[in-house]
Amino acid sequence: MAVLPILHVGHPNLRLTAREVTREELALPETQAFIDDLVETMHHANGAGLAATQVDRPLRICAIEVKDNPRYPYKPNIPLTILVNPVLEPLGDDTFDNEEGCLSVPNLRGGVRRFAELRVTSWDRHGATEQRIVRGITAGTFQHEVDHLDGKLFLDRVEDPRTLATWDQWKAHRETAFIERVRAVVARYGS
């Protein structure tokens, strides 16, 4: 396994729309090894998720995992999940104000509106079709990762640039209010 270099904002390949993966391609040892590397890279960087586009592979594959994450201590845990060819379908119009960071956007966070409930249809790493409902803060994480597969960064969805903050400034000026909002989202949606 290997830790892969992560592209940073400004790299044009972060803006590519990733292509779907076939089951034959997914079964190849090199694709399975790539998924292992994606997970290792996510762990190494303390990410809550990592999309293939972020490590310069334009494939519709992303990894998500939250396990008492020091980078995002307020996020509810999510077991390790590999999404292949994911499709997101919002359930209803409910949204919430998230504040996001990204391994491809070093030292910056910003406010983004996300759907609060989603149906996620995808394959697992072995090509089995899965469907799950995700809610609340977890739904925000899924939307952030799948956005990467369409060449979108959270920056593109920041409606009010005054919410942008470096991590130090975020901790000093925005974290307390945000954690209160997270508690309300988790109380309402259970995650």
Q: List interacting residues with Ni ion (CB under 5 A).
A: 102
Axis crossing angle, helix 175-189 with helix 136-149, rounded to the nearest 10 = 100
| Nearest distance, CB of residue 143 and Ni ion, angstroms | 11
145 given a catalytic annotation: yes
Q: Which is nearer to Ni ion, 63 or 102 (CB)?
A: 102
d(CA 33, CA 91): 34
Q: Which of 65, 99, 145, 175 is catalytic?
A: 145
Q: Which is nearer to Ni ion, 76 or 127 (CB)?
A: 76
| Nearest distance, CB of residue 133 and Ni ion, angstroms | 22
Residues 6+ apart with CB under 8 A from 55: 4, 5, 6, 7, 37, 38, 41
| Nearest distance, CB of residue 50 and Ni ion, angstroms | 7
d(CA 187, CA 153): 28
As annotated, the active-site residues are 145
